Amino acid sequence: MQRVGMRLRVAMCHMIYRKSLRLSSSAMGKTTTGQIVNLLSNDVNRSKTAALTDDRIRTMTEVITGIRTVKMNAWEKSFIDLITRLRRKEISKILKSSYLRGMNLASFFAVSKIMIFVTFITNELLDNLITASQVFVVVMLFEALRFSSTLYFPMAVEKVSEAVVSIRRIKNFLLLDEIPELHPQQPSDGERMVDMQDFTAFWDEESETPTLRGLSFTVRPGELLAVVGPVGAGKSSLLRAVLGELPPRQGKV
């Protein structure tokens, strides 16, 4: 069973890794690097506090990415308080599950003794004769039931519930949109070039303003094409479109 579990874990990690390399631009806006790391490190094994962990990791990633802005505006205290609140919520969930595990572990050691004691007291109150053979049989019976009723069954319920949540989260990630496979057409003379005709594309499918609109150009081997413009004009988006990472709404590359 351990070997099967390890194979399943490796297979799930492989699927998540391959999916992360094929996410489309719209899908990248629905997830974060921290969430992907959390899927690989936690959800493959367990998931009870995964949503809170995602929030904390997402916030930490954003703070680290924009640390210059945070330092320039002296926002350290505000972000420390925000991350601390998220961490406290996460810890509160972890503590609740830890308390339940502790109670289950305590019952594992105490329940069998209590049941044996109650059984013999009840038998004595009913004026039944207790022999040594009966005592040994009862003790062995309760010891055998202790593992299945107070250890294995609660553990199975816990693992099944965590597996259901983890599978649901991993499924939602694997169903995100992917970059479509491109099959560029080679020119009849076999010469490689970049040819873009009436190209229009959106980063956000729900946006009314296109990122790139009506672009047409051809670059042949040996030619130099300069792309200039202010920040946010779409220079990086043009390169992503040439690489096939920005799917066209109309036109072709």
Reading the block at residue 129, the tokens are 């004769």
65 and 7 both lie in a single domain: yes
162 and 219 both lie in a single domain: no
Reading the block at residue 201, the tokens are 């594309």
Dump pLDDT digits (tens) for 21-71.
Answer: 888 766 776 777 767 777 777 655 555 566 677 778 778 888 888 888 888
139: in domain: yes
- Residue 228 per-residue DSSP state: -
35 and 67 both lie in a single domain: yes
60: in domain: yes
104 and 202 both lie in a single domain: no
184: in domain: no
Alpha-carbon span 91 to 93, nearest angstrom: 5
Q: 222's torsion region: left (phi>0), alpha (psi -120 to 50) or beta?
A: left
Q: Which of the listed residues 141, 174, 207 is the one where a domain comes to its end?
A: 174
pLDDT tens digit at each of 253 positions of the chain: 778 878 888 888 888 888 888 887 667 767 777 677 777 776 555 555 666 777 787 788 888 888 888 888 888 888 888 888 888 888 888 888 788 778 877 877 777 788 888 888 888 788 777 788 888 888 888 877 777 777 777 777 777 877 777 788 888 888 887 776 666 566 555 566 777 788 888 777 666 777 787 888 788 877 888 888 887 777 888 887 777 777 777 777 7
170 and 199 both lie in a single domain: no
Yes or no: say if 242 and 196 are a contact pair by the CB < 8 Å rule: yes
205 and 131 both lie in a single domain: no
Mean residue pLDDT of the chain comes to: 78
180: in domain: no
What does R_g of the chain's alpha carbons equal in angstroms? 30
151: in domain: yes
26-59 burial: b if 16+ Cβ within 10 Å, else e: ebeeebbebbbbbbbebbbebbbbbbbbbbbbbb
111 and 219 both lie in a single domain: no
237 and 143 both lie in a single domain: no
199: in domain: yes
186: in domain: no
**Distance in Å from the first CA to the final CA of the chain:** 50
141 and 247 both lie in a single domain: no
Looking at the 3D structure of the chain, how many domains does it have? 2
Question: What is the span of the domain harbouring residue 133?
Answer: 2-174
Yes or no: say if 189 and 32 are a contact pair by the CB < 8 Å rule: no
Reading the block at residue 42, the tokens are 């936690």
